[in-house]
Structure 1
Amino acid sequence: MAEDMKTKIKSYKPAPFDSRLSNQNQTGNCWQNYLNFHHWEKAMAVTGGDVSMCKWYPCVYKSRRPISWVSAWDDHPAGGTFPGKI
């Protein structure tokens, strides 16, 4: 277990800088990457593309925000109350 964690730490890469979004408050960055992930995943499912290419976005938005926010966002589309357009 400890070796697995050491491997993860060595291979960890933080999300890259996005010049479109503020460098101080990363809420917009997280939100945009969350939406991008769902748009990309939906497009790949429709066209029959490789959905595994979408895995970069969750790494970015999960590194920018608390996981509790992300889990709350995941609950909203199922209930039909999600404020973004997916």
Structure 2
Amino acid sequence: MLDVEAQKPPNGKWWTPPFDPRFPNQNQTRNCYQNFLDYHRCVKTMSRRGKSTQPCEYYFRVYYSLCPISWVNRWNEQIRNGTFAGKI
């Protein structure tokens, strides 16, 4: 996995995720979760192929911007423990 600190943009460079037509409603919980899954799937696939994981940074920035940090920490802990419910 990529180091979270290495993925953070420089101070003052945070941006708002662009509109995603799959999630048109105000509640962005599903968008957060889907981008978290997409990031981990992307990293897994690119690593398996021996390619750079740079393209996965987009998903990281979107979920890091949308998701509460407590959720992300819990999901990452569940992935490490092998108890994460999502399919990565």
- Shorter-chain TM-score bucket reads 0.7 to 0.9
Unmatched tracts of structure 1, length 5 or more = 1-6
| Whole-angstrom distance in 2 between the partners of 1:44 and 1:23 | 31
* Greater RCO structure (CA 8 Å; 6+ sep): 2
| Whole-angstrom distance in 2 between the partners of 1:13 and 1:78 | 29
Identity over the aligned pairs, expressed in percent?
44
Amino acid paired to 1:74? N
Give the deviation of 1:65 after TM superposition.
1.6
Unmatched tracts of structure 2, length 5 or more = 1-9
- TM-score of the superposition, structure 2-length normalised? 0.81
Give the greater-gyration-radius structure (CA). Answer: 1
Give the deviation of 1:23 after TM superposition.
2.4
Amino acid paired to 2:11? K
Q: Is the aligned partner of 1:8 residue 2:14?
A: no
| Whole-angstrom distance in 1 between the partners of 2:70 and 2:45 | 26
> What stretches of structure 1 move > 4 A for 4+ residues in a row?
none
Amino acid paired to 2:34? Q
- TM-score of the superposition, structure 1-length normalised? 0.83
Q: Report what 1:53 is aligned to.
A: 55
The CA RMSD over aligned residues, in Å, is 1.4
Q: Give the paired residue count.
A: 79
